[in-house]
Amino acid sequence: MLRVKRGCVAFLMLGLFARAAIGGPRKVIIDTDPGTDDAMAIMLALNSPEFDVRALTVVPGNVTAAQGLENALRMVSLADRCDILVAGGAQHPLFQKLVTAEFWHGKNGLANVELPPSKCKKDPRWGPDLIIEMVHANPHEITLVPIGPLTNIALAIEKDPSIVPLVKEVVIMGGSITGGNVNASAEANIANDPEAAQIVFQAGWPLTMVGLDVGDKTLLTRKHIEAFKKNPGPVSDFMYKVADFLIGLSEKFGETGTPMYDPLAVGVALDSTLVKAPAMHVDVETRGEFTRGETVANRRGANERNVLHHFPDGDRYVIEGLDKVEPNAKVCTEVNAEKFLQMFVSRIQGK
């Protein structure tokens, strides 16, 4: 009997090691301000076998903290995933008033779709605390996917900076190096909490920025969502209604499709070959009159070195060389949009 038992234990251990070696599903925490495109991102993540979504932490942005928490709870319930922890977090940005976006997401933030009341219960912990606890409990295994303002992530870093080297990677939806969407310079997630974003960008962890530069090239159209009608299900029906609302809004502004901002961040976390993402140093402007909330990327990786000289005709600075600037982010600049859109549609239809 003992010999058989030893054999079973050895086989089990081998299986566990093999699973670890080939990499089982990635442990993921999504920080979200749900939000119509957040909803599509969350449903993509829940229907991707590469991901083991452990928690949703909710941040105010598209909607208030309370509305976002209710929306997150209703979505995990719709997907029959009450095993996923759902926790509220910050109630407002670090230093500015919240700007909510019902204009773009509908009164309830979910395209005015009334989902059934949730069967799931919220986790009693505060979102940043939940992130801290889960990172320490799963060192070097957690992928953070923030797809809203970065308030919760910044609070987690400020409360416990030791999590930074323990996080596997951070893939954010946010920022832009080709102009903003809330104004000429700032993208909504960064604009809603620039100080939080600067903390997150300067933390020193592996960060990928999935910004407007690629989101605006990844448009979901009516052609794509027809597949949801052909293959109905509770989730794909919900996704059809959300996408129909968003595409209708885009059509009002002369566009044919809706940018898949948040879902693409999940897509990049799933498959980084979907994008080209050169390493750059990114700072977040927090003081500019016209540029507060802009993600300012140094594409050349250097700053000119100016040295003050005293000349007979007066003092002036003289350029005397270039100083290297260490990158702190991979900035997505190109995307295989159709490959991602097919991934999204194929994983959601029929669910």
Residues that bind ligand RIB (CB under 6 A): 33, 35, 37-38, 61-62, 147-148, 173, 181, 187-189, 261-262
> Minimum CB separation from Ca ion for residue 313, in Å?
55
Shortest Å distance, C-beta 261 to Ca ion: 7
* From 59, 98, 147, 210, residue interacting with Ca ion (rule: CB under 5 A): 147
Let me know: does 106 contact 66? Beta carbons within 8 Å: no
Q: Where in 225-264 is the site for Ca ion (CB under 5 A)?
A: 262
In the DSSP assignment, the letter for residue 312 is: T
Nearer to ligand RIB by Cβ, of 63 and 280: the residue is: 63
Joined together, the tokens standing for residue 17 give: 């090691």
Interatomic CA distance for residues 158 and 129, integer angstroms = 11
Kindly tell me which of 205 and 261 has the beta carbon lying closer to Ca ion: 261
Among residues 303, 202, 311, 217, the alpha carbon closest in space to that of 264 is found at 217
By beta-carbon proximity to ligand RIB, the closer residue of 181 and 349 is: 181
Q: Backbone phi, then psi, for 309, in 5-degree steps?
A: -125, 150
Q: Which is nearer to Ca ion, 190 or 235 (CB)?
A: 190
Q: Which two tokens stand for residue 60?
A: 């105010």
Strand 207-210 relative to strand 329-331, pairing: parallel
Question: Under the criterion CB under 5 A, does residue 35 sit at the interface with Ca ion?
Answer: yes
Nearer to ligand RIB, 40 or 53 (CB): 40
Residues sharing a CB contact under 8 Å with residue 115, sequence separation 6 or more, in sequence order: 71, 74, 75, 77, 78, 238
- Least CB distance to ligand RIB at residue 106 (A): 12
Residue closer to Ca ion, measured from CB, 39 or 85? 39
- Within positions 260 to 319, which residues make up the interface with Ca ion, using CB under 5 A? 262
Least distance from ligand RIB to the Cβ atom of residue 38, Å: 5
> Quick count: other Cβ atoms within 10 Å of Cβ 320?
10
DSSP secondary structure code for residue 94 in this structure: S
Pairing assessment for the beta strands 257-259 and 302-311 based on DSSP bridges:
unpaired
Comparing CA positions, the residue from 59, 41, 125 lying closest to residue 347 is: 41
What is the per-residue DSSP string for 297-308? EESSSEEEEEEE
33-41, 272-280, 326-334, 343-351 -> range binding Ca ion (CB under 5 A): 33-41
38 scored as a contact of Ca ion (CB under 5 A): yes
Site for Ca ion contains 148 (CB under 5 A): yes
By CB under 5 A, residue 180 contacts Ca ion: no
Q: How far is the CB of 134 from ligand RIB (least distance, A)?
A: 22
Tokens standing for 233?
Answer: 């299900």
Residue 187 binding partner per list Ca ion, ligand RIB, none, with a CB distance cut-off of 5 to 8 Å that depends on partner kind: ligand RIB
**Longest Cα pair distance anywhere in the chain, in angstroms?**
96
194 near Ca ion, judged by CB under 5 A: no
Interface residues with Ca ion (CB under 5 A)? 33, 35, 38, 147-148, 262
